[in-house]
């Protein structure tokens, strides 16, 4: 997992040799949130990046996909590559139709470049509002981009932390209402799972989804949100058990607008690196029936990323 770049001190490499999940994924399951990093020698990391990761190549991602039992991937542009989408687009374009992508673009992107990204398999843009990951991008630039990509049938993916939702609310609803664009929220808007699931912070996120019927959520990243941690993965209680009520609430309230992904290779984790096989075993704790699992893992991601096959 070496890179010609010097990794951020304390960087945790992805977990080699993951377990085979006990939970058998439904046929056609999509890992709808994962990344590629470089390899740095082939696809250099962006000068404006906030972290330097280990390498995580498309071949390694596709091997994980097959090992876990997924059929397809949605590869989300990681901030360490900035708006240079080559690593992600190359992975999608060479996946044999098994990967689609979400890009990061700037206002300066040309129509031709957008068309090339579309041909590679890109179906969305990501707007990142997590301050430790990106510098501020003016909202008028984001609105302009959202307007342009809509013509391609793409959607907008947003990443933010729950404390910032009140301030971002007007912008998100404008993207949704004015442009009538589908908006996908990463990791349930990163709730503080130490707060009550029925408390005001998570209520605001549920209100966003309830009042705006094209807002979707990834119920991913328990390993990122959990305070309880991964213990008891195969015990009576789920690993990351403090995340279960939050993710289960969203899956059961909005079963047709939820997605799940591994988040491999798990950027910026500080305490532990999850075994992706065991992470898959988290799914039946948050989607407790075969019907909910099928929507979460197959029907919903197919509608959004491979609509021509649905």
Nearer to ligand 0GY by Cβ, of 25 and 184: the residue is: 184
Alpha carbon distance 132, 231 (integer Å): 28
Contact stretch for ligand 0GY (CB under 6 A) within 142-150, 227-235, 238-246, 261-269: 261-269
31 binds ligand 0GY (CB under 6 A): no
Question: Rg for the chain (alpha carbons), in Å?
Answer: 18
Could you confirm whether 263 is annotated as catalytic? yes
Nearer to ligand 0GY by Cβ, of 29 and 56: the residue is: 56
Nearer to ligand 0GY by Cβ, of 24 and 226: the residue is: 226
DSSP 35-49: --B--TTTSPPPTT-
**85, 206, 268, 293: residue in contact with ligand 0GY (rule CB under 6 A):** 268
How many residues in the shown chain lie near ligand 0GY by CB under 6 A? 8
Least Cβ distance, residue 184 to ligand 0GY (angstroms): 12
Three-class DSSP category at 293: helix
**18, 40, 124, 267: residue in contact with ligand 0GY (rule CB under 6 A):** 267
Three-class DSSP category at 123: strand
Strands (E) across 120-243 are located at: 122-128, 155-159, 183-185, 215-218
Alpha carbon distance 85, 70 (integer Å): 24
Nearer to ligand 0GY by Cβ, of 6 and 309: the residue is: 6
78 binds ligand 0GY (CB under 6 A): yes
3-state helix, strand, coil in the chain (%, to 5): 40, 10, 50
**31, 55, 186, 275: residue in contact with ligand 0GY (rule CB under 6 A):** 186
79 binds ligand 0GY (CB under 6 A): yes
> How many CB atoms sit inside 10 A of residue 6's CB?
8
Pull the structure tokens for residue 81: 């590559």
Chain residues that interact with ligand 0GY, rule: CB under 6 A:
78-80, 133, 186, 263, 267-268
Q: Which residues are catalytic?
A: 263
């Amino acid at each position: 997992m070496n890179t010609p770049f010097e990794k951020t001190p304390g960087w945790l490499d992805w977990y080699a040799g993951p377990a085979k999940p006990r939970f058998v994924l439904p046929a056609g399951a999509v890992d709808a949130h994962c990344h590629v990093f470089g390899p740095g020698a082939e696809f250099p990391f962006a000068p404006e990046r906030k972290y330097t990761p280990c390498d995580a190549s498309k071949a390694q991602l596709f091997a994980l996909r097959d090992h876990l039992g997924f059929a397809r991937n949605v590869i989300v542009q990681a901030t360490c590559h900035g708006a240079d989408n080559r690593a992600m687009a190359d992975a999608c374009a060479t996946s044999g139709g098994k990967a689609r992508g979400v890009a990061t673009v700037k206002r300066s992107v040309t129509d031709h470049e957008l068309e090339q990204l579309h041909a590679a398999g890109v179906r969305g843009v990501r707007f990142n509002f997590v301050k430790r990951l990106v510098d501020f991008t003016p909202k008028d630039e984001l609105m302009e981009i959202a307007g342009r990509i809509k013509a391609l049938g793409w959607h907008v993916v947003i990443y933010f932390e729950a404390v910032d939702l009140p301030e971002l609310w007007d912008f998100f609803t404008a993207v949704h209402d004015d442009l009538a664009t589908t908006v996908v929220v990463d990791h349930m808007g990163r709730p503080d799972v130490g707060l009550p699931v029925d408390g005001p912070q998570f209520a605001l996120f549920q209100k966003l989804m309830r009042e705006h019927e094209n807002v979707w959520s990834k119920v991913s990243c328990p390993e990122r949100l959990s305070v309880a941690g991964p213990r008891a993965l195969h015990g009576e209680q789920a690993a990351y058990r403090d995340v279960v009520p939050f993710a289960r609430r969203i899956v059961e309230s909005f079963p047709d607008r939820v997605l799940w992904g591994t988040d491999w290779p798990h950027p910026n984790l500080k305490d532990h690196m999850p075994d992706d096989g065991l992470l898959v075993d988290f799914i039946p704790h948050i989607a407790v029936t075969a019907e909910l699992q099928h929507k979460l893992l197959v029907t919903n991601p197919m509608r959004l990323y491979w609509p021509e096959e649905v």
